[in-house]
Amino acid sequence: MDGTLIGIVAFASVIGLLAIRVPIAFALAGVATLGSFVLFAFRTGDFTPWRAIRPTTSMVFSNSFDLIHSYDLSMIPLFVALGHIAYRADITTKIYYAARVWLARLPGGVAMASVVGCGGFSAITGSSIACASTMGRICSPEMLRMGYDKRLATASVAAGGTLGSLIPPSVLFIIYGIFTETSISALFLAGILPGLLSLAGFILVIAVWVWRDPAAAPIPEGTTTMRDRGRAALDAWPAVALFAVIVGGIYGGIFTATEAAAVCVTMAVLIGFAQRKLTFAALWEALRETAIQTASIFLIAAAAKIFVAFIALTGVAPDIVGAVTAAEFSPLVLLIAIAAIYLLLGMFLDPIGIMVLTLPLMIPLVETYGFDLIWFGVVVIKLLEIGLITPPVGLNVFVIANVVGKEVPLDRIFAGILRFLTVDVIVLILIMAFPIISLLIPGGL
């Protein structure tokens, strides 16, 4: 039986299962297992199912076992735990409060502080959805009470929450690095400048929005003194210290990404108890949520590894590479096509699902064209970041809608998101046109 045809049918089947809301892990593993069984059963030229059982089970169990025992994968529970512990120790929110004090008197200052707070939260947690959920509960209701435009009060946090995908540490970068066998430390460093560029773009959107419509962001009453600003900045030192350990430790060659995660988890626990912000009950709750979230990610990763092995058996990837090469597409046309695919999938699927579904086909293509995998990883993550706020299924938008309830209709949030999407697309074009933006910092490794 034609392996390429089976591979194409498998991809269509996975997309169909996801469309009817079958969990991504079950869709990938189920289709890969059944597809492998069919391939092995027809390998001898006739249908011999009894001969297919052993190689199919061997492929499924060996690939999932190898992935779960990967050393690099151990940083996922560490960074997830860091985010939960830092939140309960009141470390992550201090960045927002510091930015709030420093920027409050500027037009749109509270919205700008929300974006900065999201950036700071992202620099510790590594999860865009967690960032949007947590910061949304803090920032959006406050801006709505102050009389901010409902679109600005919600869209700024939804967009700011996407920074968790690019600013290290990022769970998406970890998964990309594992499946493409690229340096996760280099990927973390490559995301810094694009992440900061996105953050600056969001702040610019808010500034222009408020400049054109001053009523959209009333300036709060009261004054803040330099003493208040100094105290707020000083209170944010734990978050700054954790980020410095992650980035400085990796860039300076002191730590690997996994070691940096372990050191930061220890620091967060010690700081939380020393400042009396963290209790044993809160620590236990953080570890419990870490276990649940990690199990979910590991299940998806293991299923994706099985699916990747199955796709390798079908030979569909070399066939697609051969077809694209024969068509003599230019690198620009290929990049535009890849971006269109990711943006289209981003409208309907979650980021991890998109990545594990597409990488088996995309990586052979970009390697054939000689693209740098670190730079391409940043492009992919940026595309996934855009998908988090792209209608009709922008996950971050739905998270914020759930936070604010009926006070702000979903269509109003999406109406505000369009301005931030414009900046996101501009940043994406800059990253694609100038790879040095992504490769400058990791080039020092």
Q: What is the pTM of this model?
A: 0.87
Angle of CA points 140, 115, 297, to nearest 5°? 90
- Residue 89 is predicted with a pLDDT of 87
Q: Could you list the mean pLDDT of each consecutive 10-residue stretch along the chain, which spans 445 residues?
A: 74 83 86 85 65 78 77 83 86 83 83 86 74 80 87 89 83 88 89 92 93 85 73 84 86 84 91 90 91 86 84 77 76 88 81 83 86 94 89 80 81 89 93 93 72
How many CA atoms lie less than 13 Å away from 279 in the CB half-sphere? Answer: 3
**Any residues with CB less than 8 A from the CB of 327 and at least 6 apart, and which?**
none
How far is C-alpha 34 from the geometric centre of its chain's CA atoms? 30
374 token code pair: 């670190």
**Cα separation, 418 vs 397, whole angstroms:** 12
3-class secondary-structure state, position 202: helix
- Residue 200 is predicted with a pLDDT of 92
**Cα separation, 89 vs 275, whole angstroms:** 8
Please state the φ and ψ torsions of residue 248, each to the nearest 5 degrees. -65, -40
Evaluate the CA torsion angle 201, 133, 140, 394 in order and state its sign.
Answer: positive
**Cα separation, 97 vs 75, whole angstroms:** 29
Cis before 169? omega within 30: yes
**Any residues with CB less than 8 A from the CB of 182 and at least 6 apart, and which?**
176, 373, 374, 377
- Residue 378 is predicted with a pLDDT of 95
What would the DSSP string read from start to end of 116-161?
HHHHHHHHHH--HHHHHHHHHHHHHHHHHHTT--HHHHHHHHHHHH
Cβ 92 vs Cβ 83: under 8 Å: yes
- Residue 44 is predicted with a pLDDT of 57
- Residue 210 is predicted with a pLDDT of 92
Please state the φ and ψ torsions of residue 359, each to the nearest 5 degrees. -60, -35
Cα–Cα nearest to 187, from 171, 173, 167, 198: 173
- Residue 206 is predicted with a pLDDT of 93
- For residue 34, the tally of other CB atoms under 10 A from its CB is 15
**Any residues with CB less than 8 A from the CB of 382 and at least 6 apart, and which?**
165, 166, 194, 198, 424, 427, 428, 431
Question: Helix and strand tally (H, E) in the chain?
Answer: 22, 0
Cis before 331? omega within 30: no
